[in-house]
Amino acid sequence: MFDTPAFMPVGTQGSIKGVLPDHVQKTGTQIVLANTYHLMLRPGEKTVAQIGGLHKFMAWHGPILTDSGGFQVFSLADLNEISDYGIKFKSHIDGGEVFLDPRRSIEVQNDLGADIIMALDECPPGDAPVEVQARAVERTLRWAEQSLASHARRSDQGLFGIVQGGADVNLRHDCTRKLAAMDFDGYALGGLAVGEGFDAMSLILRELGPSLPATKPRYLMGVGFPRDIAVSVASGMDMFDCVLPTRNGRNAYAFTATGPIRLRNSRFQADSAPVESGCDCYACQNFTRAAIRHFFFAGEMLGPVLLSVHNMRFYQRLMADIRRAIGDGNFGSFLSSDPRCKLGPATDAGSED
């Protein structure tokens, strides 16, 4: 169980980079995400299962979600062939040929043992022509049916379907309607973090959010700027994930309510203030901006760790405040007045996890 709206830090390889599970939990994080593609290739899902499953492997006792691996195949691997039957690609680790289809993706996720798993989908680039998006929707729907049929742990793993369709509202509605008829345990919007832009994303959210089954969790995949989250919650979305808190933290970039700060800047060299005044995270309670800046320039691991912890806490404080505003019936006022709801992609820094 976890509270929604919820933000999931990303543990791509089975860990939140550089941060102990206990410290992740203390940021207020209730659920984390791990990556099927990476864990399938290394150490292998059978190894994880033999050890006792992903919860034991990660030493994480809360809920875990695994994605299907499809996005990573399209973004990281050397694709050889994609067809209605599946995807043939070369591993980015050793160049070995790998085949992934809906049955295999679900089998891997069953073995990993996450609480929520995802159906395999096709995620084309956001600027792909509409005919490419249409073929991706057809394939995603076909694979969704096959994913449902292959799911062997329905009693203890929820399976979510993924809506595709790029920025085409009609394709999105068609995909949503057909997925809803399959009665998944939850529904995700995919393909909205691939360069389509905020305006296009907002349009899709306004159109699709109310169309997704209201009695099931609704998950916006890979979108995680505070502004994007706030707008998405207003459209009915419940779950989010993104590498931004930890990725940017490792690049000396900190989220604060008054705007981002980049601690490599010389003006922080002798700054005795915490990263963010009023923040209750471990970094802010124990270290100054000057000290954390020093750790980055000295090549000490502690700098990236501390800012990752701070950024995760920033996000979890935001989510808690959003939940509180919804409960109090004043989310509209919160959305328009809280400065965190204005933090957008101009603040990005760093490279992919």
**Which residues, other chains included, contact 27 with Cβ-Cβ below 8 Å and sequence gap of 6+?**
281, 309, 312, 313, 316
Question: CA 240, CA 55: separation in Å to the nearest integer?
Answer: 20
Measured between alpha carbons, how far is 173 from 180 in angstroms, rounded to an integer?
A: 10
For residue 83, the tally of other CB atoms under 10 A from its CB is 9
From 97, 100, 28, select the one nearest 68 (Cα to Cα): 100
**Annotation marks residue 241 as catalytic:** yes
What letter would DSSP give residue 104?
H
CB 348 within 8 A of CB 62: no
The three-state secondary structure class of 69 is coil
Determine whether 67 is an active site residue. Answer: yes
Structure tokens at 255: 């989220």
Q: Which of 67, 111, 121, 238 is catalytic?
A: 67
Beta-bridge mates of residue 186: 160
Strand 6-11 versus strand 32-34 pairing type: parallel
Whole-angstrom Cα distance, residue 112 to residue 39? 8
Contact call for residues 179 and 159 (beta carbons, < 8 A)? no
Buried b (16+ CB within 10 A) or exposed e, 288-314: bbebbbbbbeeeeebbbbbbbbbbbbb
What kind and span of H or E run contains 66?
strand 64-66
Q: Which of 101, 121, 238, 241 is catalytic?
A: 241
For residue 80, which of 91, 69, 67, 70 has the smallest C-alpha distance? Answer: 91
Which residue reads 């989310």 in tokens?
331
Residues classed as catalytic: 67, 241
